[in-house]
Amino acid sequence: MKSVNKIILLGNVTRDPEVKATDGKQTVCTFGLATNRCWKDKGGKKQTVAEFHNVVSFGKLAEFSGKYVKKGKPVYIEGYSKTQSWENPENNVKMFKTEVVVENMSLLSPRDKATEVPEAEAAEASVA
């Protein structure tokens, strides 16, 4: 049986990206993303709930993210969900962290000279 692990998010960046290099010298970038879910309750009143996502990108996408993604800016992301687990050494409790691994990204903010992304660089950043 086939399965699918695909995530599409459109939201606002909640914190500026952090760019690091792994021991193997691969570039890794992490940042937060907030999305909103809206609906009307039984009384017809509009309800909104925010969901917060941990986002990670690697390689050229990480370099692109670190250079152009900024807190508060809207971004469109395609990727997949990945959960890591480890045991907390203080209390031996198993911990979990779920992240969205970016495969494709588009910046959605209006273009201005300060944040304009060169077209060739944007095209190179997505993962095939």
| pLDDT the model gives residue 64 | 94
- What are the structural domains of the chain? 7-120 (2.40.50.140)
| pLDDT the model gives residue 102 | 97
**pLDDT tens digit string along 83-111?**
999 998 889 899 999 999 999 999 997 65
- Percent of the residues in the chain that have a pLDDT greater than 90, as a whole number: 74
Confidence of residue 119 (pLDDT cuts 50, 70, 90): low
Helices (H), 69-118: none
Range 15-30 average pLDDT: 93
**pLDDT tens digit string along 10-19?**
999 999 999 9
Supply angle C-alpha 75, 116, 33, rounded to 5.
15
User: If DSSP codes are grouped into helix, strand and coil, which group holds residue 123?
Assistant: helix
Residue 91, classified by CB atoms within 10 Å of its CB into exposed (0-12), middle (13-18) or buried (19+), is exposed
